[in-house]
C-alpha cells in the first residue's frame, strides 16, 4: 500500500498529516514506512527524529562529447527534447542542468562520440525512528534542478510489505507527479482559502490524470467555509478528516510536536482516516 500525501499548495499541513498518520499506523502495530519525498526541503525528520543508518547517492548520467570523434552532424542535438545539447559549427555544447540523463543521445550518435559520466543529484537516507518506524528521505543536492531521479529511486526502496506513507513536495510539477504516479491513493491536504481551493483543483486534476484516486483532508478548517465542501461534493471527493483552525495545533506543529504525542485522541482520528481512505482505493471520480 502506497499512500501519497500531496497538496497543490505549500504550507497546507501536508507533512503534519503525513507524519501523524504514519506514527498512528506504526503505534497500531501496522508495519509502516514514512518516506519524505519533499526532496527540496525534507522536514518530516524534525517530527520523528530518526537515526540514519544508511545513505545512498543518486547519480544521473550526463553525456560527455569526445571532440576527436564528433563530426558535428547534429543528430544528438536534434534528438534531445530538453535542449540540453546545442550544435555549433565546431563542437557540441552540453548544458548539464537541462539534461535528464535519458541516454538517448549516446545510443544514437553515429560516431560513438558520446560517453556518459555520472553526476550526483542528491542522496537518499534510510533509518528508523526511536519507536521503530522505518524512515526514508530524499535530499536534493544544492543547485541541482531535477528532483525526479531521486524520487524515482526512493520509490524503488518502498517497502512492499508495509503501508508506505509518502510525503510529496508542494505543487503539481514533475517531481510531485513522479511521486504520485503509481500510488494506491493520494491524500490531498488543503486549507479553506482561495489559494487552497485553487491549488486543490489542480492537484485533484493531476491525480486524476495519473489514474490515482484522491481523498481530501481539510486543515485549518473554519465554520462557515463551504466552497471546498461544495467542490468535493460535486466531484465525488470524500473529505475524510478536518483539522480545526487552532492556535494550539499551530503551536505544536511549529515546535516539532506531533498531534498524536500531545493528545492520544488524535491517533484514533488518524487511524479512522486510514481506514476510510483504504476503503476508497480503486474509486475514481471526474471533476466538474
Phi, psi of 151 (to 5 degrees): -65, -40
Which CB sits closer to ligand SF4, 87 or 229? 87
Which cell goes with 240?
475524510
Q: How far is the CB of 199 from ligand SF4 (least distance, A)?
A: 29
The residues, any chain, with a CB within 8 Å of residue 149's CB and separated by 6 or more, are 58, 60, 101, 121, 122
Place of cell 488524535: 266
The number of angstroms, rounded, from the C-alpha of 178 to the middle of its chain's C-alpha atoms is 7
Cα separation of 161 and 31, whole Å? Answer: 8
| The binder of ligand SF4 chosen from 27, 31, 40, 73 (CB under 6 A) | 73
| The binder of ligand SF4 chosen from 51, 54, 68, 71 (CB under 6 A) | 71
| The binder of ligand SF4 chosen from 27, 56, 103, 152 (CB under 6 A) | 103
Q: How far is the CB of 69 from ligand SF4 (least distance, A)?
A: 7
Three-state secondary structure call for residue 63: strand
Q: Is 107 exposed, middle or buried (0-12, 13-18, 19+ CB in 10 A)?
A: exposed
| The binder of ligand SF4 chosen from 23, 105, 204, 215 (CB under 6 A) | 105
Instruction: Provide the mask over 129-168, with x wherever binding to ligand SF4 is found by CB under 6 A and - wherever it is not.
Output: ----------------------------------------
70 binds ligand SF4 (CB under 6 A): yes
Interaction site with ligand SF4 (CB under 6 A): 63, 65, 70-76, 79-80, 82, 84-85, 87, 92, 99-105, 109, 111, 113-114
Amino acid at each position: 500500500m502506497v499512500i501519497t500525501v500531496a497538496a497543490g499548495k505549500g504550507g497546507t499541513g501536508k507533512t503534519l498529516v503525513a507524519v501523524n498518520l504514519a506514527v498512528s499506523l506504526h503505534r497500531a502495530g501496522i508495519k509502516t514506512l514514512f518516506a519524505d519525498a519533499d526532496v527540496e526541503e525534507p522536514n518530516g525528520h524534525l517530527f520523528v527524529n530518526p537515526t540514519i543508518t544508511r545513505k545512498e547517492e543518486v547519480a544521473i548520467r550526463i553525456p560527455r562529447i569526445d571532440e576527436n570523434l564528433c563530426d558535428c552532424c547534429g543528430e544528438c542535438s536534434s534528438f534531445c527534447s530538453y535542449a540540453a545539447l546545442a550544435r555549433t559549427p565546431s563542437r557540441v555544447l552540453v548544458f548539464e542542468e537541462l539534461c535528464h540523463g535519458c541516454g538517448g543521445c549516446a545510443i544514437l550518435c553515429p560516431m560513438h562520440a558520446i560517453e556518459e559520466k555520472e553526476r550526483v543529484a542528491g542522496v537518499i537516507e534510510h533509518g528508523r525512528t526511536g519507536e521503530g518506524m522505518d524512515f526514508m528521505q530524499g535530499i536534493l543536492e544544492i543547485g541541482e534542478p531535477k528532483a525526479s531521479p531521486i524520487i524515482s529511486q526512493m520509490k524503488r526502496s518502498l517497502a512492499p510489505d508495509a503501508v508506505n506513507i509518502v510525503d510529496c513536495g508542494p505543487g503539481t510539477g514533475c517531481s510531485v507527479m513522479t511521486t504520485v504516479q503509481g500510488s494506491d491513493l493520494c491524500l490531498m491536504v488543503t486549507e479553506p482559502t482561495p489559494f487552497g481551493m485553487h491549488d486543490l483543483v489542480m492537484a485533484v486534476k493531476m491525480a486524476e490524470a495519473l489514474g490515482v484516486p484522491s481523498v481530501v483532508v481539510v486543515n485549518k478548517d473554519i465554520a462557515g467555509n463551504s466552497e471546498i465542501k461544495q467542490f468535493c461534493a460535486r466531484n465525488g471527493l470524500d473529505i475524510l478528516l478536518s483539522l480545526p483552525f487552532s492556535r494550539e495545533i499551530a503551536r505544536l506543529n511549529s515546535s516539532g510536536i506531533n498531534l498524536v504525542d500531545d493528545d492520544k485522541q488524535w491517533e484514533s482520528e488518524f487511524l479512522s482516516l486510514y481506514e476510510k481512505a483504504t476503503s476508497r482505493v480503486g474509486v475514481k471520480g471526474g471533476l466538474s
